[in-house]
Amino acid sequence: MGDDKGQEVDIHSYTFDDHGKVVFGVEYPLDSLTEPGSIQGYQVKCISVEWMVKLSCWLMSWMRMIIGLAALCERFGIALPDEYKKIHLERGHA
């Protein structure tokens, strides 16, 4: 979500059961959502800085894997699987 000032926020919905297992939505670890926040006066849970670093490192590794997979497919004339094409193109890679 964003506003006309260029401010953006990622919003992910989730539901945990009584045992801390995600039963709906994004599978964030229960202990990652410990930072308080608010959006237009509504209280929200935010990812802690420590978890943001962990998740960002995972995401960067995953993106490097997709870039490598695209290069491998191109080198050997194999089509990049559809589920990776959109992500690869959105990140500015041909």
pLDDT at position 77: 93
> Which tokens belong to 56?
């960002």
What is the pTM assigned to this prediction? 0.48
In the chain, where are the structural domains located?
Answer: 14-47, 51-90
Model pLDDT for residues 35-80, shown as the tens digit of each residue: 998 888 989 888 888 888 887 777 777 778 888 888 888 899 998 8
pLDDT at 89 over 70: no
Q: What is the pLDDT of residue 88?
A: 55
The region, left, alpha or beta by phi > 0 then psi within -120 to 50, assigned to residue 92 is left
For residue 84 the two structure tokens come to: 């990776």
Do 70 and 86 touch, CB atoms closer than 8 A?
no
- What token pair was written down for 38? 């608010």
Non-local CB neighbours of 63 within 8 Å, separated by 6+ positions: 87, 91
